[in-house]
Amino acid sequence: MKRVILILMIITGLTLYYSCEKEDKIVLDMEKAISPVLTSPSGGQSYVLLQENLEETVTTFEWSAAEYPLEDLPEIRYAVEVDLTENNFTSPATIGVTSETSLPVTVNRLNNSLLPLGVEPEEEYNTSVRVRSFISNASEDIYLYSQTVEIAVTPFEFEVKPIYLLGDATTAGWDNNAAIEMEHINDGEFAIVEEIIDGPWIKFLSVLGQWAPQWGTDDSGTSEEGPLVYRPTEDVDDPPAIPAPEPGEYRIVADTANLLYTITPVDEKLYLIGDMDGSSWNSSTGIEMTKTAPGKFKHTFNHSGEKGSNIQITNSVSNATKKWGSHSRVAHLRGKMIETKHNNNVKIYLPDIAGEYIIEVNLATMKYTIRAK
């Protein structure tokens, strides 16, 4: 019988040790613990999520309290987890964490919880939800899980009004009807990877076909970074244009909330290394991804489904100066790319399901997606 022996440390909090022989310490007998029971919602519910209802409560998850057979333990906390039913909680997302026995969930929160699972907008997915109780994250041996409840959810893709890039250093020129749409990456922040041609200036517009609102810079702006100067209406003078760098492909970021911009060169080739057919962790055997547009790359690969398999993205097969992975140590089918030069533990973990997959990389948003072919 496995028992968990707890030593309460004044400074570090709860530290865990395991033993079946020493009985002179505080022992938590997990066979006598009682798991939470998810009581609401009932299985079979269906939810269609809409952006216009962001702050509405779509449902409230409720469960009975977990019980650990030992006094003076830390406060019991609960994580509500969701995964696609077919994945069987191989890499669940967390909807929320609380010390209560209920969790109201808004449309926005549920939708954001589903996106890392690789779902597509406006398609219905069968998902499974469970509650995990814990008193420490130091060991999975003291986790208790509720039963699972299946619900169908239709997510949406969050849409934000874009801004646009133009200027004689771009293919759009100064035609405000042909300005190039940028992608929303954060609150008030937009990005694009674009080829800069031989021209001196760029600007940003808010509305196609109109010269206001727009953003330029001031005399301190350079071809690498600087302040944004906002022109709200035609009644306000045009701000100076932003100096363009030498011709090449650049990631251009406009932060309209903090009124800053950056222009940085991007790699024109990317490679994959790691646990996939045709590659290894030797960077010299990296697989070149197919470039589909400036800053956008794609590759189809076979995956054995072996648990813990992972990959990295690099900018070279022989002398990589950049490597990208994910912040998470579990498999997520979409996520933010984290750059590292030295930490080989920053990786993208693959699903524990064998098959043919497609990975896509977007250097404008600095995100990746993986989907079954």
Encode pLDDT of 169-224 as tens digits: 999 999 999 999 999 998 899 999 999 999 999 999 999 999 999 999 999 999 99
Q: Which of 41-45, 269-273, 277-281 has the lowest mean pLDDT?
A: 277-281
The predicted pLDDT at position 359 comes to 95
Give the separation between CA 203 and CA 263, rounded to whole angstroms. 12
Number of residues assigned to the chain: 373
3-state secondary structure of 82: strand
The predicted pLDDT at position 209 comes to 97
The predicted pLDDT at position 25 comes to 57
Percent of the chain with pLDDT over 70: 91
Q: What is the CA radius of gyration of the chain?
A: 25
The predicted pLDDT at position 286 comes to 85
The predicted pLDDT at position 187 comes to 85
pLDDT at 119 over 80: yes
Average pLDDT (247-268) is 97
Task: Kindly state the helix (H) or strand (E) to which residue 165 belongs, with its residue range.
Answer: strand 164-166
Encode pLDDT of 11-30 as tens digits: 234 444 344 444 445 667 78
pLDDT at 354 over 60: yes
The predicted pLDDT at position 28 comes to 72
182's CB contacts (< 8 A; 6+ apart) are 162, 163, 164, 165, 190, 191, 192, 204, 252, 254, 364
Q: Which residues pair with 17 in a beta bridge?
A: 5
| Burial (CB count <10 Å: 0-12, 13-18, 19+), residue 100 | exposed
pLDDT at 303 over 60: yes
Give the separation between CA 98 and CA 113, rounded to whole angstroms. 16
CB atoms within 10 A of CB 249: 16
pLDDT at 340 over 90: no
pLDDT band at 149 (very low <50, low <70, confident <90, very high): very high
The predicted pLDDT at position 8 comes to 41
Average pLDDT (276-304) is 87
pLDDT at 343 over 50: yes
Give the separation between CA 155 and CA 117, rounded to whole angstroms. 11
Average pLDDT (321-325) is 88
pLDDT at 100 over 50: yes
Mean pLDDT of the chain: 88
pLDDT band at 7 (very low <50, low <70, confident <90, very high): very low
Task: State how far the alpha carbon of 32 is from the alpha carbons of 18, 35, 69, 266, in Å.
Answer: 17, 10, 6, 57
pLDDT band at 4 (very low <50, low <70, confident <90, very high): low
Question: Could you say which DSSP state residue 318 is in?
Answer: S
pLDDT band at 307 (very low <50, low <70, confident <90, very high): confident
pLDDT at 47 over 60: yes
